[in-house]
């Protein structure tokens, strides 16, 4: 669920309602601004991605038109699901589901250990037609397999798996064959997306170097949990070589996605909120320079993705929700503001530490 903005929890979509201006972009120092639009989904009974609200019912996968209409459930309605992605244009859909190994509502994670993500071992990756029919498993391994996304050239799927005992990134063909492991660092590696030329992969990672922290990571993983309080953004070649760290701010940086220019990425972070729940969208160059805050709403904002033409940005947000924990999906126009006297480029209020 961390990496898929199109995961709507509610099939009841009504007409546009009362969303106000997105983030007062005119008073922000950002070079890019986004204009506002109504939420594409309405508040639902399902727990969203709010970092304080455990899910009450397991989320399912839905597909909808880009105006929020024609919402249809794709997944089986059983078990937990996460991380959907279109495959082959829009011919098929990928998602992860526990419906075979764990068809009942999964237990809530044990939050007595702090905020944690469940890494259900019964997650497998499936593909189906966009109406949910012709459901086929692409993975059949012990442990968590999820977070699958597709290269724009249609030749590769990158995904997260714990098949070798740690959480690592792997690639496979669209039919599930030719699996290759891409990462080897102790700690979490996941949430990956390809660049538009399919040559690079951007992802999130937590690689504890402290012995105690690594031990704690392994202890939680043995309980199928991950504590995502520290995640940094990394980029590598599509074959797993040439890994470079993009962020180094000690916050929870996640769901990175390439801008179509191939030089910048957008991601969600709480770097400005002291590790708190107010996630916002940021952009940064692949070289770690030019950090720029994009959203300024006090609620949770995350899961950004650009349309392939770069004209639209879709993201999830808890803004304007009816109930705490509700996450809805928004689309904004993406407008590049030329630098000039009216839009002086200033440093962000609280920039992250740059990697040397």
Residues in contact with Ca ion by CB under 5 A are 166, 168, 185, 189, 278, 280, 297, 301
> Residue 343 gets which letter from DSSP?
B
Tell me the closest approach of the beta carbon of residue 318 to Ca ion, in angstroms: 8
Q: How far is CA 123 from CA 65, 139, 147, 186, 273, in A?
A: 27, 9, 10, 21, 32
Burial 149-169 (b: 16+ CB within 10 A, else e): bbbeeeebbbbbbbbeebbbb
Tell me the closest approach of the beta carbon of residue 277 to Ca ion, in angstroms: 9
> 213 exposed, middle or buried (CB, 10 Å; 0-12, 13-18, 19+)?
middle
Q: How far is CA 135 from CA 75, 160, 316, in A?
A: 9, 20, 27
Alpha-carbon distance of 328 to 244, in angstroms, equals 33
> Residue 182 gets which letter from DSSP?
-
Nearer to Ca ion, 259 or 272 (CB): 272
Nearer to Ca ion, 193 or 296 (CB): 296
CB atoms within 10 A of CB 290: 17
Alpha-carbon distance of 73 to 61, in angstroms, equals 6
Nearer to Ca ion, 70 or 142 (CB): 142
Tell me the closest approach of the beta carbon of residue 44 to Ca ion, in angstroms: 20
Integer Rg of the chain from CA:
19
Nearer to Ca ion, 120 or 319 (CB): 319
Nearer to Ca ion, 83 or 167 (CB): 167
Tell me the closest approach of the beta carbon of residue 6 to Ca ion, in angstroms: 20
Tell me the closest approach of the beta carbon of residue 80 to Ca ion, in angstroms: 22
Nearer to Ca ion, 147 or 189 (CB): 189
Nearer to Ca ion, 27 or 342 (CB): 27
- Spatial contact of 191 and 204, defined as CB atoms under 8 Å apart: yes
Tell me the closest approach of the beta carbon of residue 186 to Ca ion, in angstroms: 6
- Spatial contact of 257 and 280, defined as CB atoms under 8 Å apart: no
Tell me the closest approach of the beta carbon of residue 296 to Ca ion, in angstroms: 7
Nearer to Ca ion, 76 or 278 (CB): 278
Q: What is the DSSP string of 183-230?
A: ---SSEEEEEEE-TTSSEEEEEEE---SHHHHHHHHHHHHTTEE-TT-
Tell me the closest approach of the beta carbon of residue 168 to Ca ion, in angstroms: 5
């Amino acid at each position: 669920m961390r990496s898929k903005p199109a995961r709507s929890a509610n099939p009841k979509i009504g007409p546009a309602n009362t969303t106000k201006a997105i983030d007062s972009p005119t008073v922000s120092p950002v070079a890019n601004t986004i204009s506002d639009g109504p939420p594409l989904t309405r508040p639902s009974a399902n727990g969203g991605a709010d970092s304080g609200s455990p899910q009450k019912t397991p989320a399912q996968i839905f597909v909808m038109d880009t105006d929020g209409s024609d919402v249809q459930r794709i997944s089986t309605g059983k078990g937990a699901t996460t991380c959907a992605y279109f495959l082959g244009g829009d011919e098929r859909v990928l998602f992860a589901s526990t419906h075979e190994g764990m068809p009942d509502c999964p237990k809530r994670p044990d939050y007595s250990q702090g905020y944690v993500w469940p890494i259900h071992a019964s997650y497998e990756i499936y593909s189906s037609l966009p109406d949910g029919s012709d459901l086929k498993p692409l993975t059949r391994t012990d442990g968590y397999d999820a977070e699958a996304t597709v290269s724009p050239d249609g030749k590769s799927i990158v995904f997260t798996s714990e098949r070798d005992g740690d959480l690592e990134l792997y690639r496979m063909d669209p039919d599930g064959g030719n699996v290759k492991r891409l990462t080897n660092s102790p700690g979490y590696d996941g949430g990956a997306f390809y660049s538009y030329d399919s040559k690079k992969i951007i992802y999130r990672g937590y690689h504890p170097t402290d012995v105690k922290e690594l031990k704690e990571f392994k202890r939680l993983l043995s309980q199928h949990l991950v504590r995502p309080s520290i995640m940094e953004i990394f980029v590598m070649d599509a074959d797993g070589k040439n890994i470079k760290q993009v962020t180094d701010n000690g916050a929870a940086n996640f769901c990175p996605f390439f801008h179509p220019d191939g030089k910048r990425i957008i991601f969600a972070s709480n770097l400005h909120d002291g590790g708190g729940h107010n996630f916002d969208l940021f952009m940064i160059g692949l070289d770690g320079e030019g950090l720029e805050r994009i959203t300024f709403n006090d609620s949770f904002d995350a899961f950004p993705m650009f349309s392939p033409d770069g004209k639209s940005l879709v993201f999830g947000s808890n803004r304007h929700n009816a109930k705490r924990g509700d996450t809805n999906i928004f689309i904004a126009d993406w407008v590049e503001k030329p630098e000039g006297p009216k839009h002086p480029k200033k440093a962000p209020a609280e920039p992250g530490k740059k990697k040397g």
